[in-house]
């Protein structure tokens, strides 16, 4: 699987996880309808399934995914929550994405 496909899969995985956690947050913190827990559970199931589609070992996948999750979570903060990102947010996301790239692009073991 090439780097672009892996990255797009990580982004889809992160969105599924964030939606699966954001909807219960709305129920618990903003008194939204408990019916939101159904799509939340489905989204978390999708998140778990998407993680299985990655070609590397689970631990390596989780480690690389973490970098993309940070960037997507900050994008969510900006796009959904309407919170402006700081240069520190951007720098942290950049560093996390470099870490993801190092893990994903490492040479294959002989």
Per residue of the chain (110 residues), what is the pLDDT tens digit? 688 998 999 999 999 999 999 999 999 999 999 999 999 999 999 999 998 898 777 888 888 899 999 999 999 999 999 999 999 999 999 999 999 999 988 887 65
pLDDT score for 34: 97
pTM of the model: 0.88
Which residues, at least 6 apart from 67, have a Cβ–Cβ distance to it below 8 Å? 96, 97, 98, 99, 100, 101, 103
The interaxial angle of helices 3-30 and 37-52, nearest 10 deg, is: 160
Task: Write down the pLDDT at residue 99.
Answer: 94
What 34-38 contacts at long range (C-beta under 8 Å, 24+ apart), as own/partner pairs, is none
Q: Which helix (H) or strand (E) holds 35?
A: none
């Amino acid at each position: 699987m090439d780097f672009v496909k892996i990255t797009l899969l990580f982004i889809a995985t992160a969105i599924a996880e964030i939606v699966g956690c954001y909807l219960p947050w709305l129920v618990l913190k903003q008194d939204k309808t408990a019916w939101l827990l159904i799509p939340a559970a489905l989204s978390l199931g999708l998140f778990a399934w998407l993680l299985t589609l990655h070609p590397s070992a689970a631990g390596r996948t989780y480690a690389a995914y973490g970098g993309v999750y940070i960037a997507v979570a900050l994008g969510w903060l900006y796009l959904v929550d309407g919170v402006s990102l700081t240069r520190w947010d951007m720098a942290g996301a950049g560093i996390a994405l470099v870490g993801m790239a190092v893990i994903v692009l490492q040479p294959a073991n002989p």
